């Protein structure tokens, strides 16, 4: 069996879906953060697969940008983790619901 | 002079700005002085006039309180400045209005000449793309800031500025001792500006600007005594009801824009007149939308409920805004669009029926009211109904004629009632009045003259205009319902009798007989100052002679008809409404006799029952038909219908629910059901309210459930939000897949 | 693809602003809490210089040469309009923040630096003509915004706002990014002009459609349209009020810029497919935003829903992109919205004594007695937000509704009119509280910077309402050309 671009796309879609549902269902903020990272990296697979297939470097460049931004996002996310934990002594995002309605 | 037309609205605007700035400056300095006093701030506050306990005008109870200005500023020059700026600006505006009219020439105006003064291009809309147009003028789209002087707007600005000026003068005396004198004049000047903008605007958009402007001033002035809950609530109510009207009006404007590709009167109406068959099919909807707007502003059924409550504002405001000028804006607008309305017989039919019904409905309520201003308020609603009836039967001239005469006598009546209230130190209940004729003779005489004028006594102003309407209704021929004209005529005739009855009832309870208040109060009764009586005399004079511009039957006597004819001209071949107007002189004399008889019967009954019999007969009648009496004196429970919905909504909504919301969405439905129910309870006065309550509860509960839904969607949990977003994405994809 | 020296000159406002942000950030280490007003003045100065640079750039003839830096950015009139608008929002934010930041127990330099960085992101968004640059700019704006929302790191609400904004923002941008990657697969192109050539509308493969729809979803999140709006009320309530004011205009305006770029320039041929979707979203947004706002007693939440509703109105213009008024109307409306919405928020800030209270409608009680000018100006903003003439809001709505009618969405225009009629009720509640109710007469501290912000907004709102012609002409020249 040869690996075609469709395999990459399916892989990336699955990873993206896992991350997507991870954001929706995991209660721990750190896990949510990791799920978001998973989504971003699924996108990277897409970009690189397309880049390879279309013989165009832009996609790979974009994935480098995405990695950089993911790092920035992680930094902010971790800072928020600390802030959240200091105030509530928990990382359960469900409990952050003082504002509603 | 005619090119200086823009000065007419400009003067009140300048007056507003100057007065506003003066007020702000004085307010600011006084406020800072009070702050500087620090702990002495409380005595300073106490020294300021406390809210009036028993009436709107605390002036006489602690007259001269403004002299004890907490900051020690001399308020006299400031007050003089407010007075001068407020009245002179409107006076100048009046002078320039007349100059402009004379300059264009009354003769030329009555030949259909329209003088348009364009100030600048307000909204450039670029080149026409002709979407949804039937026969729109090709070329550039734009909306100008332009004023249009033709015979219709000339008539309006003439009496608006003149009556407005008189009421400003009156206010000097009436409001002299009130807190926020400057604020009052600033609002009043802003009102005059907006009203003139409304009347002079040369396109629908400018008309709309004025329309919203007068509305805003109306709320501000109704709520002027904002330390009184009733006033603030009335302001809110006016706001709520007018939203419904404005919604219709905006839709109507949109409709006109999409039909004609322009909002300029000078383009829309000729286009409609030139291609009647092309536009007619769409115009019914447009006209009905416009009429909804008119109903809101001019207090027609079912949107009339705000007007009686609006009487919580100062009396000169009631006279100016809620009787003489603003509330007639709806009639003006319908008359302005008469070309469109004439093309839609169905819309005219609705206008006529709503107008006729409102006239009768409000008149019956007026019979059983005991607040002097409430009687006048329902009378105003009723008279506005007459005006719409006139428009609906195609007699736009008669409608506008009545607008003018009504402005004179109703302003006179309101100002007279203000003078009475002033004399009695804030008393408004006519059951506690009586015998005032000898104590305040000027007020009495002017009030009586205006009463006779509104009652339709021959040779007074109201007689001619009302008679014109009745005649037009009698001769109206509706293609879809040929009998309707006669029915409307009968209703209007009965209303005329009722009007005469309740107005003379008002006079006899107020001025005749013995004084029914306390002796201490009696000793203090005094005639009002000159600044208040002079406007009364002028208005009473106009109530007598104001009708002579439109005498029917006499050749050349119907000058107002000739004057307005070019604008309110029936279209050639536009349909059924043109033929009916040339009635035989004998018929006309007969109709006139009928209306005189109706007025005479009304006056006589009121005289016999109230002046002679001191109310014994009416009391017996009320005792005999308790259900009817209760329904009428409680204004057919319409207000209760609003309240029950809205109070329940409020209470059960856990206090978060707001009054305004229920009123908007449900009032239509609930009002309807309530009216049906009330009608049934006429037959059997204890027809249960279970149905109504059930419906009201049902609607309120449904609404709350819906609203809880909105709040519940906002759970505060971030992952629920993400889930909704994910669901939203799937919806986007689903819609794409299903409908592409 | 060659990079010219003038390219850098064309980007000088952005470059200068980046440097300014770094200077602010670095110098905040050396300046104590007591002298923090300096940062406010420094920021205004820097923003002023940026404004001068923008004017300079707008006169450069090199702008006409097309995209710069290898097609990454374009400095057309459209971009300049948005940059000026964002600059206006930043200036207003800084002015409105001076008193507030001074009172807050957190370092002020960081605050201004974050506002500036967020603004740099918006500048790049306005200029972006390549999906890469657009995405990076979007993230730059968003990352700075997350931190701004949580600026009061000791407050539970502020942290919660940041948390929600962060999770949902990152989530939505991941979705958007996935959409970008699918679009990239169309032909290996990222430039908007290339995409416009590639995407003929006939390749209706579901992968491409899915990609475009995911981009759409990501952008709808940024402009807070239903059903992607749920973050808005919570984030607006929890963030410090000047930040809320900034959020309510800046990111939305910038998001509309890329919305227009992507859907007007790159995928105009997709309109037939997304028209109905956006129409439904617009209807839902207007209805939900206005009805939900009716229920609020917290003014910040009320204005959050109000801004959701306003996003719905602006979508009418998006629908009418192909008609004359569509894009023009969006530009007019965004300008009007920035002025009036920020003005209203500036007055909320004005009333806040402690800087961070649950501001209920009753805080406006009796404002007319306490401070008549403030009440009058607030009334002006409320009238404008409700779309009553003669105010800027009316002009904007007029264009948008006309655009919707032209584009054949008459039903949507009627819903919009009805929705605006409903909106009057909650705006009027504030007006009624100001004019018809007595309130406690607390002394309101005066801040000259804040007063300046209010005056700018009020004058703009009124001038655009009364004599809009010249402004409208300028904006008409900012409508982008299609490639």
Mean pLDDT, chain C, whole residue set: 87
* Distance in angstroms (rounded) separating the CA atoms of residues B726 and C175: 9
Q: What is the pLDDT of residue B40?
A: 35
Contact status, residue B71 vs residue B33, Cβ threshold 8 Å: yes
Contacts of C162 in chain A (CB under 8 A): 80, 83
- Work out the average pLDDT over B417-446: 84
C188 → closest Cβ in A29, A40, A58: A58
- Work out the average pLDDT over B233-262: 81
**Cα nearest neighbour of B703 on chain C:** C291
Q: pLDDT tens digit string along C197-227? A: 888 766 667 788 888 899 999 999 999 998 8
CB distance from B654 to chain A under 8 Å?
Answer: no
The whole-angstrom distance between A84's CA and the closest CA on chain C is 7
Contacts of B654 in chain A (CB under 8 A): none
**Cα nearest neighbour of B727 on chain A:** A24
Q: What is the pLDDT of residue B101?
A: 83
Contact status, residue C164 vs residue C234, Cβ threshold 8 Å: yes
Q: pLDDT tens digit string along B511-538? A: 887 877 777 777 778 888 888 888 889 9
* Distance in angstroms (rounded) separating the CA atoms of residues B333 and B14: 26
**Cβ pairs B/C, distance under 8 A:** 170
* Distance in angstroms (rounded) separating the CA atoms of residues B301 and B358: 6
C217 → closest Cβ in B243, B713, B728: B728
φ/ψ of residue B127, rounded to 5: -90, 140
Lowest average pLDDT, out of B72-76, C319-323, C341-345, goes to B72-76
What DSSP element (H or E) covers B435? none
Q: What is the pLDDT of residue C226?
A: 85
Give residues 215 to 234 of C whose Cβ lies within 8 Å of A: 233-234
Q: pLDDT tens digit string along B89-102? A: 889 888 888 888 88
What's the total number of domains in chain A?
A: 1
Cross-strand partners of C68: C73
Peptide bond into C66 cis (omega under 30): no
Instruction: Inspect the interface and report whether the beta carbons of C160 and A65 lie closer than 8 Å.
Output: no
**What residue spans of B424-483 are helical by DSSP H?**
441-455, 461-475
Contacts of B226 in chain C (CB under 8 A): 368, 435-438
* Distance in angstroms (rounded) separating the CA atoms of residues B728 and B686: 53
CB distance from B655 to chain A under 8 Å?
Answer: no
The whole-angstrom distance between C164's CA and the closest CA on chain A is 9
Confidence of residue B232 (pLDDT cuts 50, 70, 90): confident
φ/ψ of residue B148, rounded to 5: -125, 120
Q: Of C244, C20, C51, which is closest to residue C145 (Cα–Cα)?
A: C244
| Chain C neighbors (3+ CB pairs < 8 Å) | A, B
Highest averaged pLDDT of the listed ranges A59-68, B320-329, B712-721? A59-68
| Chain B neighbors (3+ CB pairs < 8 Å) | A, C
* Distance in angstroms (rounded) separating the CA atoms of residues C269 and B515: 83
**Cα nearest neighbour of B715 on chain A:** A100
A98 domain residue, yes or no: no
A50 domain residue, yes or no: yes
Highest averaged pLDDT of the listed ranges B178-187, B393-402, C179-188, C337-346? C337-346
Q: Is the pLDDT of residue B650 over 80?
A: no
Instruction: Inspect the interface and report whether the beta carbons of C185 and A87 lie closer than 8 Å.
Output: no
Instruction: Inspect the interface and report whether the beta carbons of C166 and A40 lie closer than 8 Å.
Output: no
3-class SS at C199? coil
Q: Is the pLDDT of residue B314 over 90?
A: no
* Distance in angstroms (rounded) separating the CA atoms of residues C283 and C393: 19
Q: What is the pLDDT of residue C363?
A: 80
DSSP string, C281-344: HHHHHHHHHHHHHHT--BHHHHHHHHHHHHHHHHHHHHHTTTSHHHHHHHHHHHHHHHHHHHHH
Lowest average pLDDT, out of A52-61, B659-668, C162-171, goes to B659-668
Instruction: Inspect the interface and report whether the beta carbons of A94 and B719 lie closer than 8 Å.
Output: yes
User: Whole-angstrom distance between the N-terminal and C-terminal Cα of chain B?
Assistant: 62
Where is pLDDT greater, at B649 or A37?
A: A37
Work out the angle at residue C235's Cα, subtended by the Cα atoms of residues C446 and A70, and round it to the nearest 5 degrees.
120
Confidence of residue C249 (pLDDT cuts 50, 70, 90): very high
A24 → closest Cβ in B714, B715, B722: B722
Lowest average pLDDT, out of B460-474, B509-523, C283-297, goes to B509-523
A100 → closest Cβ in B715, B719, B722: B715
* Distance in angstroms (rounded) separating the CA atoms of residues C439 and C467: 36
Peptide bond into B534 cis (omega under 30): no
Question: Within 10 A of C389 (CB to CB), how many other CB atoms are there?
Answer: 24
Where is pLDDT greater, at C371 or B347?
A: B347
Work out the angle at residue B690's Cα, subtended by the Cα atoms of residues B687 and B694, and round it to the nearest 5 degrees.
145
| Chain A neighbors (3+ CB pairs < 8 Å) | B, C
Confidence of residue B647 (pLDDT cuts 50, 70, 90): very low
Lowest average pLDDT, out of B538-547, B676-685, C130-139, C388-397, goes to B676-685
Mean pLDDT, chain B, whole residue set: 76
CATH of the domain at A50: 1.10.287.3510
CB distance from B722 to chain A under 8 Å?
Answer: yes
Radius of gyration of chain C (CA): 21
The whole-angstrom distance between C325's CA and the closest CA on chain B is 8
A67 domain residue, yes or no: yes
Q: pLDDT tens digit string along C274-290? A: 888 899 999 999 998 98
A97 domain residue, yes or no: no
Instruction: Inspect the interface and report whether the beta carbons of A100 and B722 lie closer than 8 Å.
Output: no
C238 → closest Cβ in A56, A58, A99: A99
Q: What is the pLDDT of residue B42?
A: 35
Contacts of A98 in chain B (CB under 8 A): 716
Contacts of C174 in chain B (CB under 8 A): none
B718-739 and C206-223 helices, crossing angle to 10°: 140
Contacts of A29 in chain C (CB under 8 A): 163
CB distance from A73 to chain C under 8 Å?
Answer: yes
Q: What is the pLDDT of residue B60?
A: 40
Q: What is the pLDDT of residue B656?
A: 38
B728 → closest Cβ in C228, C432, C469: C228
φ/ψ of residue B201, rounded to 5: -50, 135
Q: What is the pLDDT of residue C14?
A: 94
* Distance in angstroms (rounded) separating the CA atoms of residues C228 and C253: 17
Confidence of residue A38 (pLDDT cuts 50, 70, 90): very high
The whole-angstrom distance between B738's CA and the closest CA on chain A is 23
Q: What is the pLDDT of residue B79?
A: 80
CA distances from B272 to A54, B142, B338 (A): 62, 19, 11
A99 domain residue, yes or no: no
Q: Is the pLDDT of residue B135 over 50?
A: no
* Distance in angstroms (rounded) separating the CA atoms of residues B519 and B634: 31
Q: pLDDT tens digit string along C237-246? A: 989 889 999 9
Q: pLDDT tens digit string along B657-691? A: 333 333 333 344 444 444 544 443 443 333 334 44
Residues 6+ apart with CB under 8 A from A68: none
Strand B115-127 relative to strand B140-149, pairing: antiparallel
Contact status, residue B248 vs residue B334, Cβ threshold 8 Å: no
Q: Of B730, C184, C214, C171, which is closest to residue A5 (Cα–Cα)?
A: C184
* Structural domain range at position A72: 5-92
Confidence of residue C256 (pLDDT cuts 50, 70, 90): very high
**DSSP for residue B141:** E
Q: pLDDT tens digit string along B582-630? A: 556 677 788 888 888 888 888 888 888 877 776 677 777 777 777 777 7
Q: Of C78, C80, C72, which is closest to residue C129 (Cα–Cα)?
A: C72
Where is pLDDT greater, at C84 or B320?
A: C84
Q: Of C360, C235, C374, which is closest to residue C308 (Cα–Cα)?
A: C235
Q: Of B633, B634, B637, B665, which is closest to residue B649 (Cα–Cα)?
A: B665
Q: Of C163, C105, C161, C134, which is closest to residue C354 (Cα–Cα)?
A: C105
B205 → closest Cβ in C291, C389, C432: C389
Contact status, residue B238 vs residue B219, Cβ threshold 8 Å: yes
What DSSP element (H or E) covers B142? strand B140-149
Instruction: Inspect the interface and report whether the beta carbons of B722 and A23 lie closer than 8 Å.
Output: yes
What DSSP element (H or E) covers B688? none
Contact status, residue C234 vs residue C327, Cβ threshold 8 Å: no
3-class SS at B67? helix
């Amino acid at each position: 069996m040869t690996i075609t671009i469709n395999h990459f796309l399916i892989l990336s879609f699955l990873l993206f879906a896992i991350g997507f549902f991870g954001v929706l269902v995991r209660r721990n903020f750190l896990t949510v953060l990791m799920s978001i990272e998973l989504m971003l990296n699924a996108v990277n697979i897409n970009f690189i697969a397309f880049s390879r297939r279309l013989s165009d470097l832009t996609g790979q460049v974009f994935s480098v940008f995405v990695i950089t931004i993911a790092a920035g996002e992680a930094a902010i996310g971790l800072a928020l983790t600390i802030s959240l934990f200091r105030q509530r002594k928990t990382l359960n995002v469900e409990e952050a619901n003082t504002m509603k309605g | 002079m005619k090119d200086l037309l823009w000065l007419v609205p400009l003067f009140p605007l300048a007056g507003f700005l100057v007065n506003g700035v003066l007020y702000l400056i004085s307010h600011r300095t006084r406020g800072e002085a009070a702050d500087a006093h620090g702990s002495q701030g409380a005595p300073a506050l106490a020294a300021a006039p406390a809210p009036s306990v028993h009436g709107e005008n605390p002036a006489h109870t602690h007259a001269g309180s403004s002299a004890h200005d907490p900051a020690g500023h001399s308020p006299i020059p400031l007050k003089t400045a407010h007075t001068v700026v407020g009245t002179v600006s409107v006076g100048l505006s009046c002078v320039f209005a007349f100059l402009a009219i004379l300059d264009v020439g009354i003769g030329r105006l009555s030949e259909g000449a329209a003088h348009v003064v364009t100030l600048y291009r307000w909204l450039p809309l670029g080149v026409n793309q002709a979407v949804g147009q039937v026969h729109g003028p090709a070329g550039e789209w734009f909306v100008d800031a332009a004023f249009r002087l033709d015979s219709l707007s000339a008539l309006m600005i003439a009496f608006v500025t003149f009556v407005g000026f008189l009421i400003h003068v009156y206010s000097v005396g009436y409001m002299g001792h009130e807190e926020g004198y400057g604020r009052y004049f600033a609002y009043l000047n802003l009102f005059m500006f907006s009203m003139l903008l409304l009347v002079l605007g040369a396109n629908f958009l400018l008309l709309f600007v004025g329309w919203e402007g007068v509305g805003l001033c109306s709320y501000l002035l109704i709520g002027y005594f904002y330390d009184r809950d009733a006033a603030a609530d009335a302001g809110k109510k006016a706001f709520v009801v007018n939203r419904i009207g404005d919604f219709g009006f905006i839709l109507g404007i949109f409709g006109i824009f999409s039909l004609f590709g322009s909002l300029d009167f000078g383009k829309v109406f000729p286009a409609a007149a030139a291609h009647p068959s092309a536009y007619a099919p769409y115009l019914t909807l447009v006209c009905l939308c416009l009429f909804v707007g008119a109903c809101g502003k001019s207090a027609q059924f079912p949107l009339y409920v705000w007007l009686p409550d609006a009487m919580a504002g100062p009396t000169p405001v009631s006279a100016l805004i809620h009787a003489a000028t603003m509330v007639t804006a709806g009639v003006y607008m319908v008359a302005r669009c008469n070309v469109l309305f004439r093309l839609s017989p169905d819309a005219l039919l609705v206008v006529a029926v709503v107008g006729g019904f409102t006239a009768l409905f409000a008149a019956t309520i007026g019979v059983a009211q005991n607040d002097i201003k409430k009687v006048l308020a329902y009378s105003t609603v009723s008279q506005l109904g007459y005006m719409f009836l006139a428009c609906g039967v195609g007699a736009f001239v008669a409608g506008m004629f009545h607008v003018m005469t009504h402005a004179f006598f109703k302003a006179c009546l309101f100002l007279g009632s203000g003078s009475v209230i002033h004399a009695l130190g804030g008393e408004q209940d006519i059951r506690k009045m009586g015998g005032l004729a000898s104590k305040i003779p000027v007020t009495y005489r002017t009030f009586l003259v205006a009463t006779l004028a509104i009652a339709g006594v021959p040779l007074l102003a109201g007689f001619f205009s009302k008679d014109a309407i009745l005649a037009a209704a009698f001769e109206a021929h509706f293609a879809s319902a040929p009998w309707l004209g006669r029915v409307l005529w009968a209703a209007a005739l009965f209303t005329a009798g009722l009007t005469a009855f309740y107005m003379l009832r008002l006079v006899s309870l107020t001025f005749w007989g013995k004084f029914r208040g306390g002796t201490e109060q009696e000793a203090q009764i005094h005639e009002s100052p000159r600044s208040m009586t002079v406007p009364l005399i002028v208005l009473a004079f106009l109530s007598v002679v104001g009708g002579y511009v439109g005498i029917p039957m006499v050749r050349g006597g119907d000058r107002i008809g000739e004057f307005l004819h070019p604008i309110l001209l029936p279209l050639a071949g536009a349909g059924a409404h043109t033929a009916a107007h040339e009635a035989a002189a004998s018929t006309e004399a007969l109709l006139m006799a009928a209306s005189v008889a109706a007025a005479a019967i009304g006056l006589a009954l009121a005289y016999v029952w109230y002046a002679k019999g001191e109310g014994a007969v009416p009391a017996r009648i009320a005792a005999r038909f308790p259900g009817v009496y209760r329904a009428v004196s409680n204004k057919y429970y319409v207000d209760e219908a609003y309240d029950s919905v809205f109070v329940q909504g409020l209470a059960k909504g856990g206090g978060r629910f707001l009054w305004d919301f229920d009123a908007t969405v449900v009032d239509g439905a609930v009002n309807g059901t309530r009216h049906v129910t009330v009608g049934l309870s006429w037959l059997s006065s204890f027809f249960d309210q279970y149905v109504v309550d059930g419906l009201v509860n049902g609607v309120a509960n449904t609404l709350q459930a819906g609203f809880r839904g909105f709040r519940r969607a906002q759970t505060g949990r971030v992952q629920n939000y993400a889930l909704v977003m994910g669901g939203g994405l799937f919806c986007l994809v689903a819609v794409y897949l299903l409908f592409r | 693809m060659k990079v010219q020296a003038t390219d850098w000159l064309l980007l000088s406002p952005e470059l200068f602003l980046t440097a300014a942000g770094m200077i602010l950030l670095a110098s905040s280490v050396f300046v104590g809490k007591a002298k923090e007003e300096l940062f406010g003045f420094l920021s205004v100065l820097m923003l002023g210089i940026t404004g001068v640079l923008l004017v300079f750039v707008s006169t450069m003839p090199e702008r006409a040469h097309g995209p710069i830096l290898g097609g990454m950015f374009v400095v057309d009139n459209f971009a300049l309009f948005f940059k000026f608008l964002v600059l206006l929002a930043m200036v207003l934010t800084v002015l409105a923040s001076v008193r507030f930041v001074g009172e807050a127990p957190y370092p002020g330099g960081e605050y201004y630096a974050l506002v500036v960085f967020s603004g740099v992101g918006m500048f790049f968004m306005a200029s972006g003509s390549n999906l890469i640059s657009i995405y990076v700019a979007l993230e730059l704006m968003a990352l700075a915004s997350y931190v701004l929302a949580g600026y009061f790191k000791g407050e539970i609400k502020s942290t919660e706002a940041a948390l929600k904004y962060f999770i949902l923002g990152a989530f939505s941008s991941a979705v958007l990014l996935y959409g970008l990657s699918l679009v990239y697969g169309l032909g290996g192109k990222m430039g908007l002009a290339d995409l416009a050539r590639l995407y003929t509308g006939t390749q209706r493969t579901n992968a491409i459609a899915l990609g475009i729809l995911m981009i759409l979803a990501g952008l709808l999140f940024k402009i807070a349209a239903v059903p992607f709006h749920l973050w808005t009320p919570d984030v607006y309530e929890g963030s410090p009020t000047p930040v809320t004011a900034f959020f309510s205009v800046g990111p939305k305006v910038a998001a509309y810029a890329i919305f227009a770029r992507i859907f007007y320039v790159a995928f105009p041929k997709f309109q037939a497919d997304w028209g109905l979707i956006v129409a439904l979203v617009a209807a839902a947004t207007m209805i939900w935003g206005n009805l939900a706002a009716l229920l609020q007693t917290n003014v910040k939440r009320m204005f959050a829903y109000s801004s959701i509703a306003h996003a719905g109105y602006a979508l009418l213009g998006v629908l009418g992109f192909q008609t004359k008024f569509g894009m023009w109307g969006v530009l007019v409306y965004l300008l009007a919205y920035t002025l009036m919405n920020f003005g209203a928020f500036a007055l909320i800030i004005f009333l806040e004594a402690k800087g961070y209270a649950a501001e209920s409608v009753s805080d406006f009680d009796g404002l007319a007695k306490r401070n008549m000018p403030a009440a009058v100006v607030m009334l002006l903003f409320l009238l404008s937000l409700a779309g009553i003439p003669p105010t800027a809001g009316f002009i904007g709505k007029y264009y948008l509704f006309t655009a919707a009618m032209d584009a054949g969405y008459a039903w949507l225009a009627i819903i919009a009119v009805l929705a605006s009629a409903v909106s009057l009720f909650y705006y009027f509640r504030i007006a009624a509280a100001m004019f018809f109710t007595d309130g406690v007469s607390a002394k309101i501290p005066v801040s000259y910077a804040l007063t300046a912000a209010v005056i700018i907004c009020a004058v703009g709102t009124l001038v655009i309402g009364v004599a809009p012609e010249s402004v409208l002409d300028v904006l008409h020249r900012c409508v982008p050309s299609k490639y």
